[in-house]
Amino acid sequence: MTAHVQIDAVVKRYGPRTAVDHISLTLREGETVALVGHNGAGKTTLIKLMIGLIRPDEGTIRVLGSDPATGDAKARRRLGYLPENVALNPALTGRETLSFYARLKNEDRRKVAALLERVGLGEASARRVGTYSKGMRQRLGLAQALLGKPKLLLLDEPTTGLDPALREQFYEIVRVMRNEGCTVLICSHALAEMEGCADRVVIVDSGRKIADGSIDELRRIASIPAKIRLRTVPGELRRVETHLGLNGCHKRLDDTTIEVNLTLAEKVRFVHRAAALEDQVLDIDVLPPSLDELYAHFLQGRRM
C-alpha cells in the first residue's frame, strides 16, 4: 500500500529535552492508527512535525509525497487536522466558520451545509459558535478537518466532550474515510474506544516508539494471560471447580461465576474441557487483554 506518511529516524529537541527520539514510522493508505502515550510522550510533537509546524533536528519526514515543512499547497489541501483544543471565533455562526475554512482550502462552499449535517450540526449551523457546547465545537472542528475529502486525517483527542452516541457517529465517519483510502491517525487517552477502530497501535514513551502493531500482534508479543470467565448452573460451582482441577488458582466472582487467568497455550485446552460440561456450565467468556492492559505492560517493560 502507498505510504501517506514516512518518518525515518526523526529527532526533535527543545533545548536539553528530546521530545522525539529517533522515531521511524510509516502510515499507509487506508489504515487507522492509534497513537497512544502519556502526556509528554511526544505525540503532539509528532503531529506538529507531520503538519510542518516544526522541523526535525535529525531525520526525514514525507507527508503525501512531500516535505511538510516546505508548505506544498497541494499536499496541505489533502491534509485534515483536528487539534485537541479547537480555537474558533465565537462571533461567527457554524456555517460562517466552515465557509471561512472552505475558502482557505479553496473548496466549494456549497458543500458546507452537507458537511455540517454529516457531523450533526445542521440545525445549529445558524447559531453563533459562542453558544455551542464543547462537544458541538469539537464536531465543528471535525467538519473543518473533513473539508476537501483529505487523504490524511490527524486527530488529537477527537472525542473529547462527545457523548456515547456522538462518539459512535464519529467513529462511523472514521470508518467511511478509511474505506475511501484516507489514512487516519488518532491520538487519544480513551484506549477502550480504539480497540474496535484502530488497525494498528503505536505506543510512545519519553519520545521513543516502544510498540507498533495490530492489537492481536501486541497481545502475542506481550503474552499477557487471558481471562476466562465461567458461569455455572446454580449449585454446580464446586463440582465444576473440582472437575477442571483448578485447586484454588482462580477467583470466585459470585456463587455461580469464576474467573481464571490462562496463557494463550492453556486457553484453548481449558475452554474445550469447560465446554464439555454442558450440563453444569451455562456460559464461557474469553476476555483477551485490553488495550489499557497492553499499554501498561509495554510501559512497565520499558521502565524496568
| pLDDT confidence of residue 248 | 63
Per-residue pLDDT tens over the stretch 261-281: 888 778 888 999 999 998 999
Parallel, antiparallel, or unpaired for β 183-187 and 32-36? parallel
Looking at domain 225-288, does it have CATH number 3.50.50.60?
A: no
Q: Where are the alpha helices (DSSP H) in 131-277?
A: 134-145, 164-179, 191-194, 215-222, 237-243, 264-275
Write down the CATH superfamily of domain 3-78+150-220: P-loop containing nucleotide triphosphate hydrolases (3.40.50.300)
Mean pLDDT, the chain, integer: 90
Cell matching residue 107: 473548496
pLDDT at residue 159 tops 90: no
Candidates 304, 300, 289; CA nearest to 211 is 300
Domain residue extents for the chain: 3-78+150-220, 86-145, 225-288
Q: Is 154 helix (H, G, I), strand (E, B) or coil?
A: strand
Higher pLDDT: 196 or 14? It is 14
pLDDT, tens digit (0-9, with 9 covering 90-100), for 81-133: 999 888 899 999 999 999 999 998 888 888 899 999 999 999 999 999 999 99
Q: What are phi and psi of 167, to 5 degrees?
A: -65, -45
Question: What's residue 69's pLDDT?
Answer: 86
C-alpha grid cell, residue 108 = 466549494
